[in-house]
């Protein structure tokens, strides 16, 4: 049985090597994070907390999938030591510090989801305060989030090393996401256009492929410098294609470093 921890007092009784923050509805992508975390230390803790601060739409918050029984099985099967299931009052006790996301937090995902990244950074900082891990691991699918968390950790001199993990994809190339369960078979088939477009490694060619799939409504598709989030130039060394859009009102994001497939 996996150890279930609900209070900060119980957290403090152990020294945690790696934290894997999640909002639950776990899948093989999360499982890969836990397994990677195990390579950095034996004491791996997975947090499950649906963070209200990062939802600009309260209906989305209410409808976020809650699958705690299967989540606990995945956490245990992947080899974690414990799962942290805090209440909202435990996370947002009196006097917690709200973290602003800055300029990068207001573009791309931040432009479409007002206040989202401030909510993400605030909860991640609180989890760092409570768990006090040596490492914390995040997936590259949410690349803008990963960038901002690294930026926050550096700015605040947080004593946690941020690790990143590669995107896990299904056989169609679709990046695994808790939202995929809302797509259905036809939606998953439509979503495969995203990976096909990214794999071209060129913005204009990618846009042409996306246009060929009318059921995918693109929000943004850009080539960026992954070290700054500025638009990439011809001589940019660390280019990354980023994309977001909707299939039947389900928002999907993805990205790819140039040179990878």
Tell me the pLDDT tens digit for each residue of 86-129: 999 999 988 889 999 999 999 999 999 999 999 999 999 999 99
Structure tokens at 73: 């099985």
- pLDDT (0 to 100) of residue 136: 98
Per residue in 169-200, pLDDT (tens digit) is: 999 999 999 999 899 999 999 999 999 999 99
- pLDDT (0 to 100) of residue 261: 44
Q: Does 3-165 carry CATH code 1.10.10.60?
A: no
Measured CA to CA, the distance from residue 254 to residue 82 in angstroms comes to 29
Across the chain, mean pLDDT equals 95
3-state secondary structure 144-180: HHHHHHHHHHHHCCCCCEEEEECCCECCCCCECCHHH
Task: Confirm whether 27 is a catalytic residue.
Answer: no
How many CA within 13 A on the CB side of residue 59? 0
Please state whether beta strands 161-165 and 250-257 pair in parallel, antiparallel, or not at all (unpaired): unpaired
Mean pLDDT of 232-258: 96
Mean pLDDT of 145-171: 97
Mean pLDDT of 33-52: 97
pTM comes to 0.95
* Domain 178-254 class in CATH: alpha beta
| Residue whose entry in the numeric block shows the structure tokens 């152990």 | 14
Q: Are 138 and 164 in contact (CB under 8 A)?
A: yes
Given a cut of 70, whether residue 167 has pLDDT beyond it is yes
Q: Considering the chain, what percentage of its residues have pLDDT values greater than 90?
A: 91
Measured CA to CA, the distance from residue 10 to residue 223 in angstroms comes to 45
- pLDDT (0 to 100) of residue 58: 83
Q: Are 240 and 231 in contact (CB under 8 A)?
A: no
Residue 252: alpha-carbon gap to chain centroid: 12
User: What residue ranges do the domains of the chain occupy?
Assistant: 3-165, 178-254
- pLDDT (0 to 100) of residue 95: 82
């Amino acid at each position: 049985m996996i150890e279930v921890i609900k209070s900060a007092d119980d957290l403090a009784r152990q020294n945690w090597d790696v934290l894997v923050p999640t909002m639950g509805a776990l899948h093989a992508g999360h499982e890969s994070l836990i397994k990677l975390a195990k390579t950095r230390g034996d004491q791996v803790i997975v947090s499950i907390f649906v963070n209200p601060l990062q939802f600009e739409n309260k209906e989305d918050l209410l409808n976020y999938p809650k699958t705690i029984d299967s989540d606990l099985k995945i956490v245990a099967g992947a080899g974690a030591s414990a799962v942290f299931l805090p209440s909202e009052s435990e996370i947002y006790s009196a006097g917690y510090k709200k973290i602003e996301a800055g300029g990068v937090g207001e573009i791309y995902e931040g432009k479409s989801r007002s206040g989202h990244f401030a909510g993400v950074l605030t909860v991640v900082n609180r989890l760092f305060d409570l768990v006090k891990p040596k490492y914390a691991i995040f997936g590259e699918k949410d690349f803008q989030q990963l960038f901002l968390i690294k930026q926050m950790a550096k700015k605040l001199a947080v004593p946690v090393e941020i690790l990143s993990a590669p995107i896990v994809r299904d056989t169609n190339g679709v990046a695994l996401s808790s939202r995929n369960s809302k797509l259905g078979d036809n939606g998953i088939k439509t979503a495969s256009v995203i990976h096909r477009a990214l794999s071209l490694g060129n913005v204009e060619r990618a846009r042409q492929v996306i246009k060929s799939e009318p059921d995918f409504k693109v929000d943004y598709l850009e080539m960026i410098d992954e070290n700054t989030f500025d638009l990439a130039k011809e001589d940019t060394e660390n280019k990354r294609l980023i994309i977001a859009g909707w299939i039947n009102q389900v928002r999907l994001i993805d990205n790819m470093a140039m040179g990878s497939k």
